[in-house]
């Protein structure tokens, strides 16, 4: 990956494509690449939909190689949802293919003066951009079908649906999976609306005739990769739980822990949890059958295989296996215990190009406002459809939970920096509350997954109901996560590397052997710290202060059943997270 593709959508005479050496960004990948480019090249106070913002798409350091689990890709920009820096992470085939094509990043910049819609095609011979207005207001599934008909089925796609075209703040960027379906999304932060503002509907990648990227030290890399895979397979989470039941294995676990946000974060347990659990989902998928039903990878090279394929009652493909966050957002958070209804909303949101976490949180806020009743699955489906149709109500809902809360006059809106909280109540998992409050990204569980230690006992144990130890826990996890997001690795490797020193060492050795630079654990942590420092600096220049690193007030006042606890980490402690 020795070059960057810049696409200036505002160039005189039409979009201009330029290839340039990576230059000062050499050696970076994933989140380190996106955040570095955004921090250096985007004015922090610009409007996110203006010509001054840039959308950066970057595979990880190890992407496109034989390294297991290295198929994650980062999408970065100034977020329309938070107003701060954003890195949104996705699986799918995009990272591997883009890396094999030799690109360390694609940078969309400028803004066209016309209202044409564009598509980009990239293969081993280079890149080209053309007008294709036949794609206007198509969903992601239809876009991919058209690209497959035009370019064949050996491609990977990066696309936006109707939400991105309408520049809704909750719009995602879709990446196609191994079956060439747009089921993997850089969902958080409204990155799809920035792509929509650039008038780029789809980027088609074709790596035909190209092979994997080669490591600098082949034998060392091969040995480290073998050790790394062995570690993933022997860990009970990555080797057993996730492959058998997918990410939704957490539903029963988090519900029993009293940390499952129910009916818009009003209590911590959902009486219908068993009906939508990972165990029930796997049983349903296996009974209905179909290829890749209960166990499936989101990209080639995945050995955890925590995904699946969801078929309807008649055996027809409906969507990929809904993930834990998606099931919770539309399930317990909305009082819905119908897996088929949840899967339908997942399908619609993938097609329209919407973040399922933000959308589910927004639906729950709307339900609290009386727009629909908690538990009314059909009403929820109809509301999601309105987003895709672009009705006035749909545009409000597609703008995220914070906007919907203001429109409907609701106080209990679970957001930080304008972004909705995922499927763990911060009162019952106080470590994740620290992450929600302080991460540069707005409320985001993946930024520092304290649930692993607070609830699952991975990497030690810190009492989830008490404030003690949570700041240090979140700090260390935020640092390591920033590094993992830069490597191209799936975040789920964290379970094994936190518990197994030899597996973490194998990852460090693999990075070193691939790049040809001897690395230590300290080097990996230094990378994570550097990324966070860059992001914090951008947000500071954008106007963020310590007051933005806080949870909404009701988490400090309203006691959460069944534990009857409030969030107990003080403001003074929160302000210490980034003091290292």
Rounded to whole angstroms, the Cα distance separating 348 from 446 reads 24
Rounded to whole angstroms, the Cα distance separating 364 from 49 reads 27
Residues 413 and 365 in one domain: yes
Secondary structure class of 257 (helix, strand, coil): coil
Residues 416 and 441 in one domain: no
Q: Name the domain count of the chain.
A: 3
CATH (domain of 58): 3.60.9.10
Specify burial of residue 375 (Cβ count, 10 A radius: 0-12, 13-18, 19+): middle
**Beta-strand pair 55-59/126-131:** unpaired
Look at residues 425, 457, 475 and tell me which one is the last residue of a structural domain. 425
Listed in sequence order, the DSSP H helices in 126-217 are 140-151, 162-165, 191-197
Rounded to whole angstroms, the Cα distance separating 537 from 549 reads 14
Mean pLDDT of 359-369: 98
Rounded to whole angstroms, the Cα distance separating 71 from 91 reads 6
- How high is the pLDDT of residue 292? 57
Rounded to whole angstroms, the Cα distance separating 160 from 548 reads 30
Residues 177 and 318 in one domain: no
Mean pLDDT of 327-337: 98
Residue 46 has pLDDT above 60, yes or no: yes
228 near 507, Cβ under 8 Å? Answer: yes
**Phi-psi label, residue 350: left if phi above 0, alpha if psi -120 to 50, beta otherwise:** alpha
Residues 306 and 179 in one domain: no
Mean pLDDT of 68-93: 96
- How high is the pLDDT of residue 115? 94
Residues 263 and 375 in one domain: yes
Residues 26 and 41 in one domain: yes
Residues 241 and 288 in one domain: no
Rounded to whole angstroms, the Cα distance separating 420 from 459 reads 27
Residues 279 and 402 in one domain: yes
Rounded mean pLDDT of the chain? 95
Residues 369 and 441 in one domain: no
Look at residues 381, 398, 425 and tell me which one is the last residue of a structural domain. 425
Question: Helices 339-352 and 278-288 sit at what angle, rounded to 10 degrees?
Answer: 80
Rounded to whole angstroms, the Cα distance separating 301 from 60 reads 14
Number of H helices, E strands in the chain: 24, 16
Residue 550 has pLDDT above 70, yes or no: yes
pTM for the model: 0.96
Q: Kindly list the distances between the CA atom of residue 7 and the CA atoms of 29, 101, 486, 527, in Å, as whole numbers in the listed order.
A: 19, 16, 23, 28
The predicted-structure confidence for 271-315, as pLDDT tens digits, reads as follows: 999 999 999 998 898 888 766 565 666 767 788 777 888 999 998
The predicted-structure confidence for 560-578, as pLDDT tens digits, reads as follows: 999 999 999 999 999 999 9
Rounded to whole angstroms, the Cα distance separating 7 from 177 reads 25
Residues 405 and 505 in one domain: no
Q: Is residue 290 part of a domain?
A: yes
CATH (domain of 516): 1.10.599.10
Residues 278 and 184 in one domain: no
The predicted-structure confidence for 102-159, as pLDDT tens digits, reads as follows: 999 999 999 999 999 999 999 999 999 999 999 999 999 999 999 999 999 999 999 9
CATH (domain of 267): 1.10.569.10
Question: For residue 320, what pLDDT band results from cuts at 50, 70 and 90?
Answer: very high
Range of the domain at 151: 3-205
Residues 131 and 199 in one domain: yes
124 near 210, Cβ under 8 Å? Answer: yes
| Token pair recorded at residue 131 | 């007008």
Look at residues 205, 230, 263 and tell me which one is the last residue of a structural domain. 205
Q: Is residue 211 part of a domain?
A: no
**How many residues are recorded in the chain?**
580
- How high is the pLDDT of residue 294? 56
């Amino acid at each position: 990956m020795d070059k960057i593709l810049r696409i200036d959508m505002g160039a005189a005479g039409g979009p201009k494509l330029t290839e340039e050496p990576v230059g000062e960004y050499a050696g970076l990948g994933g989140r380190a690449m996106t955040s570095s480019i955004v921090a250096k090249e985007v004015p922090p106070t610009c409007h996110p939909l203006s010509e001054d913002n840039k959308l950066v798409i970057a595979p990880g350091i190890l992407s496109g190689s034989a390294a297991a689990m290295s198929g994650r890709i980062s999408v970065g920009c100034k977020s329309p949802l938070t107003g701060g820096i954003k890195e949104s992470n996705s699986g799918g085939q995009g990272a591997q293919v883009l890396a094999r094509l030799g690109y360390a990043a694609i940078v969309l910049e400028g803004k066209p003066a016309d209202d044409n819609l564009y598509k980009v095609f990239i293969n081993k011979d280079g890149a080209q951009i053309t007008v294709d207005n036949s794609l206007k207001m198509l969903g992601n599934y239809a876009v991919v079908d058209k690209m497959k008909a035009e370019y064949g089925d050996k491609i990977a796609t990066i696309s936006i649906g109707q939400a991105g075209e309408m520049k809704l703040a909750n719009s995602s960027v879709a990446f196609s999976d191994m079956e060439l379906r747009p089921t993997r999304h850089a969902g958080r932060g409204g990155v799809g609306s920035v792509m929509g503002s650039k008038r780029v509907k789809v980027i088609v990648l074709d790596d035909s005739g190209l092979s994997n990227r080669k490591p600098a030290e082949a034998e060392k890399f091969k040995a480290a990769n073998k050790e790394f895979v062995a570690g993933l397979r022997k860990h009970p989470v990555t080797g057993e739980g996730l492959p058998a039941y997918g990410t939704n294995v957490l539903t029963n676990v988090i519900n029993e822990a009293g940390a499952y946000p129910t009916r818009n974060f009003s209590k911590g347990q959902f009486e219908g949890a068993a009906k939508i659990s990972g165990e029930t989902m796997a049983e349903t998928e296996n009974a209905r059958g179909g290829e890749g039903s209960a166990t499936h990878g989101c990209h080639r090279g995945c050995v955890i295989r925590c995904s699946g394929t969801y078929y309807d009652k008649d055996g027809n493909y409906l969507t990929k296996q809904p993930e834990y966050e998606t099931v919770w957002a539309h399930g317990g958070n909305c009082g819905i215990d119908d897996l088929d209804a949840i899967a339908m909303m997942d399908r619609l949101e993938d097609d329209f190009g919407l973040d399922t976490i933000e959308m589910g949180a927004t639906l729950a806020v709307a339900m609290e406002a009386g727009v629909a009743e908690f538990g009314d699955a059909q009403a929820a489906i109809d509301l999601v459809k309105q987003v895709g149709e672009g009705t006035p109500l749909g545009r409000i809902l597609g703008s995220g939970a914070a906007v919907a809360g203001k429109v409907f006059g609701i106080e209990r809106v679970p957001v930080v920096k304008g972004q909705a909280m995922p499927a763990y109540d911060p009162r019952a998992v106080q470590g994740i509350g620290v992450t929600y409050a302080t991460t540069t990204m707005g409320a985001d569980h993946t930024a520092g997954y304290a649930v692993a230690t607070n609830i699952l006992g991975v990497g030690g144990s810190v009492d989830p109901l008490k404030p003690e130890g949570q700041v240090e826990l979140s700090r260390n996890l935020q640092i390591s996560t920033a590094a993992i997001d830069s490597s191209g690795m799936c975040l789920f490797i964290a379970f094994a590397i936190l518990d197994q020193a030899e597996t973490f060492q194998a990852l460090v050795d693999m990075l070193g052997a691939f790049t040809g630079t001897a690395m230590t654990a300290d080097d990996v942590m230094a990378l994570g710290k550097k990324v966070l420092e860059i992001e914090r600096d951008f947000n500071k220049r954008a106007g963020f202060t310590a007051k933005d690193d806080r949870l909404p007030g009701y988490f400090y006042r309203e006691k959460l059943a069944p534990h009857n606890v409030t969030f107990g980490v003080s403001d003074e402690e929160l302000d210490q997270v980034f003091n290292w």
